[in-house]
Structure 1
Amino acid sequence: METVVVKFGGPALTTPEKIVQVAKKVIKEQGRGINLVVIVSSMPALRREFRQYATEITDEPSKREMDALVASAAQMTSAMLAMAIQEHGGKAVSLAGWQTGIQTNQKHGNARIDHVDSKRIEEYLALGEIVVVAGFQGVTGTENISTFGKGGSETSAVALAVALEAERVEIFSSVEGIFTADPEIVKESRKLPEVSYDEMLEFANLGAKILHPRAVELAKKYNIPLIVRSFVQDVEGTFIKGDVDMEKNLLVRGVAYESDIIRLTIGYDSYETASLAEVFSVLAENDINVDIIVQAVIDGVKPTISFTISKDEFAEALRVLETSKLSLGFSFADFEVGLAKVSIIGSAMASNPGVAARMFARLGREHIPVKMVSTSEIKVSVVIPQDEMVRAANVLHEEFNLAMKEVTAS
């Protein structure tokens, strides 16, 4: 009997009524003759309430205790879903992360999975139980509860699928699948029937919030198929896998964007004191993620290093740079806010030169200034003023004919 892992996010579990709806859906899924493991995120209201309680008690809660607190919200949600399944005729058991055999490192709040022992889950599956797992959590080698940070529930789902040798992972979301652009800002966007792992990684890294890069990377490494579908409508979703079975008649397959980008620039009195390695080693040691990097070394002009970071990490990055100013040897630091990143993505771009030029030409005709650029084989990203983000996404979607249906290979 095949095993399928499904994941439901917070929006599907906001009320007892919605939990009952999910219970009925998973009972129906199991009725198709499969072993079913259900990963749940915490109910958003519970998570917010618990975090609020913590802030009312202390301004600086320990990371260990915060892990224990927020993990309990998902555990409560999984227990309620198991109860709902039982109430409506199904067999179910809920498990906290530490009960599933997910072993992690010691980094609270952003733990990485070291090993999964799925024996306990397999025993319940053999008894015909639907196993409901509290997502985004595990246990350290010292038996402390740990959580995975952003995208943790999806990462839990893929990790368990690998351990169980599952047929696939289905991500039930508030959207029908992966679209050529965010339907909220690009009205002509359409759902993609299939997306490659590499394309999905770029979508996830470049601002699409549906799947976290960690989960996609893990799925790609172990060749676990992913399906993103709606928990509201019973329609086909988007299939994410290694090879996409279609004619690559469109060079670009999607547009992604990310708001609240900040550009930080540090300057040096001479080239000899400028060291990319030292700057980014210090930032990495403090868990600060850097995106687009530009180094300018021009005769007669003081050298600079510019890089982009998210708004959430801005204050910490400034603190780290100021603290390390003497050791890093830079003479000044400056920043620019009010920026956004807009990207085009497509596997076919690797074998079709000129895509970037076409993108820049269209942005130029629209008088949208480009401040920074980053490229890879399957994406081109530009940093632009944030108030131009929506317009840029729409004109690039139009430029590359993304509203046009792709031709399926015969």
Structure 2
Amino acid sequence: MARIVMKFGGATLASTGHIQEMARKAIAEKDKGFDVVVVVAAMGQTAKDVKMMVKRFTDDVSKRELAAVMSTCTQLSSSLFAIALQEAGYKAVSLTGWQAGIHTDRMYRHARIDNIDVHRIEEHFEQGQIVVIAGEQGVDDDYNITTLGKGGAETTAVALAIGLEAERVDIYSNVDGVYTADPRYVTNAQKLQEISYDEMLELSNLGSHVIHPRAVELAKKFQLPVIIRSSSVESVGTLLKEEVEMEKNLVVRGVAFEADIIRLTVGYDAYSEGSLADMFTILAENRINVDIIVQAIIDGLKPTVSFSILKEEFAEALRVLEDSKVSLGFSFADFEIGLAKVSIIGSGMASNPGVAARMFDRLRHENIPVKMVSTSEIKVSVVVPQDDMIRAANALHDEFNLEQALYI
């Protein structure tokens, strides 16, 4: 029997009424003859409420205990979802991440999946049950509970689909697909019916929060179809696949933006005292994502290296750097807040020179200063003042004629 995996985000599970509504979607797929796995995130405000309870005890809770307590949020969602299915007359069972055979490394709150043993899920399929799994969690080699961090539920869904050789993954959220830009802020943004894994990966990394890049990476590696669907309206959604049709010879297919970017600058007394490899190795070991990197070596001035990070990782990055200041050999660290990142993405950019120049010229015309730049074959990102973020996104969406795009 064919299988599908359905992932439901926290906004789709905000109340028991929402859960009953999402349960009906799982039932519809079961009635079509599929074996169904449902992966759920924490419902509504549950995670925030649990964090507040922890803070009443301490601001310095151990990572192990915090992972254990946070895992209960998705367990609540999965159990309630299974109960809703049972009350509707269907066989269902809820499983925690470790009961579902999800094994991870030992990073506790930023764990990565090492492997999945799907035999228990297979046994429940044989009993005709819909299997509801608490997303974002697993167990390490010592049977400590771990959580996967941001994007954990959809990463779990894709990993399970690969292990179960499922036909596809359906990601249900409060948006009905992937757009050329965020339609809440960019006028005339258009929904894409298809998008390549590479383009979606860039969009996800650059500010689109429709699906986490870890999930896209897994889907691309195993060529697993993923559909982004609306939880509230019936629509086609957006299909993630390897290659898509290029309508109207569009070079740029999307604009992404992200607020609360911080530029962190580390300086050295002399060039010989610094090691970029050592610094970024330490940051990587602590799962701190660094984006745009600029090194400045100018005669007569102290050498510096600047990089951009997200606001929520700033405090941890400073702590890691200060703890390693002696071994890294830097003399000072400075930062700039109030920044944002705006990016253009399109697989056609690789074979069409001049896109970056066109982007910079439009931003210059709009009097928007560019503070940092990063490029790849299919994207150009700039760091700009946060107050100019939305204006820059709309200008670039207009510059590359995305409002006229038609996608099949």
TM bucket, shorter chain: over 0.9
Greater displacement, 47-56 / 324-333: 324-333
Could you report, residue by residue, the CA deviation over 1:197-255 in whole angstroms, capped at 9, with x for unpaired residues? 10111011001111111111111111111000101000110000111134461100000
CA contact (8 A) 2:94 2:134 kept: yes
Q: Aligned partners of 1:282, 1:11: CA distance in 2, in Å?
A: 35
Q: Aligned partners of 1:163, 1:285: CA distance in 2, in Å?
A: 27
Tell me if 1:338 matches 2:338: yes
Ranges in structure 1 where 5+ consecutive residues have no aligned partner? none
Q: Aligned partners of 2:152, 2:128: CA distance in 1, in Å?
A: 27
Match of 2:166 in 1: 166
Match of 2:241 in 1: 241
Match of 1:320 in 2: 320
Q: Aligned partners of 2:70, 2:304: CA distance in 1, in Å?
A: 42
Could you report, residue by residue, the CA deviation over 1:140-165 in whole angstroms, capped at 9, with x for unpaired residues? 11122211111000011011101100
Could you report, residue by residue, the CA deviation over 1:28-47 in whole angstroms, capped at 9, with x for unpaired residues? 12111111111111212322
SS class of match (2:390): helix
Could you report, residue by residue, the CA deviation over 1:286-341 in whole angstroms, capped at 9, with x for unpaired residues? 33221100111223333221111111122232233334333333333322111100
Q: Aligned partners of 2:157, 2:218: CA distance in 1, in Å?
A: 10
CA contact (8 A) 1:118 1:164 kept: yes
Match of 2:90 in 1: 90
CA contact (8 A) 1:256 1:342 kept: yes
- Distance change (3 Å), C-alpha of 1:143 and 1:190: same
| TM-score after normalising by structure 2 | 0.97
Q: Aligned partners of 2:19, 2:244: CA distance in 1, in Å?
A: 34
Match of 2:369 in 1: 369
CA contact (8 A) 2:37 2:130 kept: yes
Q: Aligned partners of 1:284, 1:359: CA distance in 2, in Å?
A: 31
SS class of match (1:338): strand
Q: How many residues align?
A: 408
Match of 2:260 in 1: 260
CA contact (8 A) 2:293 2:305 kept: yes
Q: Deviation at 1:407? A: 5.9
Could you report, residue by residue, the CA deviation over 1:19-78 in whole angstroms, capped at 9, with x for unpaired residues? 111112211121111111111112123222222211112222222222221111211211
Q: Aligned partners of 1:184, 1:128: CA distance in 2, in Å?
A: 42
SS class of match (2:403): coil
User: Percent sequence identity over matched residues?
Assistant: 60
Q: Aligned partners of 1:314, 1:4: CA distance in 2, in Å?
A: 38
Q: Aligned partners of 1:407, 1:151: CA distance in 2, in Å?
A: 27
Please give the root-mean-square deviation of Cα atoms over the aligned residues, in Å: 1.4
Match of 1:10 in 2: 10
Tell me if 1:32 matches 2:32: yes
Greater displacement, 262-271 / 179-188: 262-271
**What residue identity is the alignment partner of 2:282?**
V
**What residue identity is the alignment partner of 2:348?**
A
Q: Aligned partners of 1:325, 1:164: CA distance in 2, in Å?
A: 46
Match of 2:293 in 1: 293
Greater displacement, 365-374 / 104-113: 104-113
SS class of match (1:64): helix
CA contact (8 A) 2:10 2:43 kept: yes
- Distance change (3 Å), C-alpha of 1:358 and 1:172: same
- Distance change (3 Å), C-alpha of 1:321 and 1:120: closer
Q: Aligned partners of 1:153, 1:308: CA distance in 2, in Å?
A: 26
SS class of match (1:245): coil
Q: Deviation at 1:268? A: 2.4
Equivalent runs, 1:3-402 vs 2, <5 Å: 3-247=3-247, 249-402=249-402
Q: Deviation at 1:281? A: 2.4
Greater displacement, 135-144 / 155-164: 135-144
CA contact (8 A) 1:249 1:407 kept: no
Q: Aligned partners of 1:388, 1:269: CA distance in 2, in Å?
A: 35
Q: Aligned partners of 1:63, 1:267: CA distance in 2, in Å?
A: 31
Ranges in structure 2 where 5+ consecutive residues have no aligned partner? none
Q: Aligned partners of 1:179, 1:380: CA distance in 2, in Å?
A: 18
**What residue identity is the alignment partner of 2:106?**
Q
Q: Aligned partners of 1:227, 1:200: CA distance in 2, in Å?
A: 12
Q: Aligned partners of 1:313, 1:230: CA distance in 2, in Å?
A: 30
SS class of match (1:98): coil
Greater displacement, 44-53 / 137-146: 44-53
SS class of match (1:393): helix
Greater displacement, 234-243 / 273-282: 273-282
Greater displacement, 230-239 / 138-147: 138-147
Q: Aligned partners of 1:301, 1:45: CA distance in 2, in Å?
A: 50
Q: Aligned partners of 1:232, 1:49: CA distance in 2, in Å?
A: 25
CA contact (8 A) 2:12 2:174 kept: yes
CA contact (8 A) 2:98 2:138 kept: yes
Greater displacement, 230-239 / 41-50: 41-50
Q: Aligned partners of 1:268, 1:295: CA distance in 2, in Å?
A: 11
CA contact (8 A) 2:248 2:405 kept: no
Q: Aligned partners of 1:21, 1:359: CA distance in 2, in Å?
A: 44
| TM-score after normalising by structure 1 | 0.96
